[in-house]
Chains A and B, each alone.
Chain A
Amino acid sequence: MSRPLTHDIELRVNGVRHRSSVESRRLLVHHLRETLGLTGTHVGCDSSNCGACTVLLDGVAVKSCTVFAVAADGADVLTVEGLATDGEMSPVQEGFRQCHGLQCGYCTPGMVVSATGLLLDNPEPTPAEIREGLEGNLCRCTGYQMIVESVRWAAEHGGPGPAAQAHAERATEAGLR
């Protein structure tokens, strides 16, 4: 039996359209890292626990290790590389810098993208809401305290930032968010 195992897909990633041929079993995280070279999105647990692979998919934070690239065909993706605007870090990125919200940095891209997704839904989260909102992201260094402070800093300095706002608005207009 012939089994067509590859598919042509198109993704908009950080504002750029990419056409690729992917194996059906190709996971979005591997497609982003290995095919598109966007290695800011990390693979941690590879089992939808740690959140290191978090990206915004049509305006919502998801774990890209648990999405098939082919199933995301046509989607708009924002990765950590796409959060800055004209070389200026987004408020969340700046918040992690100001409040020292990282140590080794491995979980950081996922934390930053996940926090961005949280602020898109809830622009003024309380510290408790931040902790709950980031329960899908594990950090083994910081004890989370300064991560929570970083997200609070971002909420007080512009929230998710213009790139994420524009990304979310496109998804809302398309009825996907």
Chain B
Amino acid sequence: MIPAGFEYLRADSLDHAAALLAERGDDAKLLAGGHSLIPLMKFRLAAPEALIDISRLAELRALEQVDGTLRLGAGLRYRDLEFSPLVREQLPLLAAAVASVGDRQVRARGTIGGAVVHGDPAADVPAVLLALDATMVLRGPGGQREVPASEFFVDFWETACAPDEVLVEIRVPALAGRRWGFEKFRQRSQDWATVGVAVQELPDGGHAVALVNMGPVPLRARGVEEALAGGAGAQAAAGRAADGTSPPADLRADATYRGHLAGVLTARALEQAGAGR
């Protein structure tokens, strides 16, 4: 499969990338790891006029803790996060989730920023960032702005990142020592999640629960969170996992089966996180 022809532009700085994007607007796409974009281009589902290569920008590869917040450069590859002692210690839920994405070769190229702006509801990282209450830092012609994960994912493959904006960084509150759970069901080991569940214990003792592939965007399982806050056990709380969701139906599963999976996987993830005992 051969993609349609395009103009290749290599950005040598973040400012350069932003300027190229401002100039080319809708015609251009940013190329980082390319593991969402290149398959789309090969299937001719996307045919951008130009690609702006941002994969070499050191400015997009920050990985540091500032006060209580981890700053994760959008250009970090899954592999960088998977093997980072800092991420493993401070954000073990994120470390576990990225280590389960695709396969080793995919994780060597795919970037966390790419996964976020692609906005695929079947991707693990967006739901995990929702559970972790992350903030996306976007740079556009008007300067920099911050969008919380809860407002970032707008619809299927659609996010708050405008065509002339670059996702620069993802900021996540550090959560060392807090328990977590992550479960997903896949037909094949390297596959997308049919359904996935991320659970994070919060500093106040409550729990954030987020769902992968249970709607057009990653969702917080508010029914489960409320049940836990009201003292429900894991099994009873998990029974509310599909509340308010609108799971897709496709070749992998219909909506009813996805609802069933959400309950089963949520119970397991809650148990893993020690929630609802």
Contacts and interface: CB of A to CB of B under 8 A. Distances in A.
Interface in A107-137: 114, 117-118, 132-133, 135-137
Given A3-B5, A24-B51, A135 B103 contact: yes
A18 B215 CA distance: 48
A51 B4 CA distance: 23
A23 B5 contact: yes
A48 interface: yes
A133 to B, nearest CB: 6
Contact of B190 (A23, A68, A136): A136
A19 interface: no
B260 interface: no
Contact of A25 (B5, B43, B103): B5
Interface string B124-160: 0000000000000000000000000000000000000
A117 B106 CA distance: 13
Interface residues of B, number: 30
A63 interface: yes
B5 A114 contact: no
A96 B189 CA distance: 23
A27 B3 CA distance: 9
B124 to A, nearest CB: 15
A83 B12 CA distance: 33
A136 B102 contact: yes
A171 to B, nearest CB: 12
A49 interface: yes
Nearest to B8: A24
B43 to A, nearest CB: 8
Secondary structure dominating the interface of A: mixed
Interface string B1-43: 1111111100000000000000000000001001100110111
B106 A48 contact: yes
Contacts of A149: none
A139 interface: no
Interface residues on A, range: 20 to 34
A71 to B, nearest CB: 6
A133 B6 CA distance: 34
Interface stretch (A54-62, A98-106, A156-164): A54-62
B104 interface: yes
Contact of A24 (B7, B34, B103, B189): B7
Contact of B103 (A51, A57, A71): A51
B153 to A, nearest CB: 24
A7 interface: yes
B53 interface: yes
B96 to A, nearest CB: 13
B57 interface: no
Interface in A44-74: 46-49, 51, 54, 57, 60-63, 66-68, 70-71
Given A47-B43, A57-B108, A135-B104, 6 more contacts: A3-B49, A24-B8, A27-B2, A48-B105, A51-B105, A132-B189
Interface of B: 1-8, 31, 34-35, 38-39, 41-43, 49, 51, 53, 55, 79, 102-106, 108-109, 189-190
In the complex, the 8 A-B pairs of residues with the closest C-beta atoms, listed nearest first: A136-B103, A24-B8, A135-B189, A60-B108, A136-B105, A135-B103, A63-B105, A25-B3
Interface of A: 3-5, 7, 23-25, 27, 46-49, 51, 54, 57, 60-63, 66-68, 70-71, 114, 117-118, 132-133, 135-137
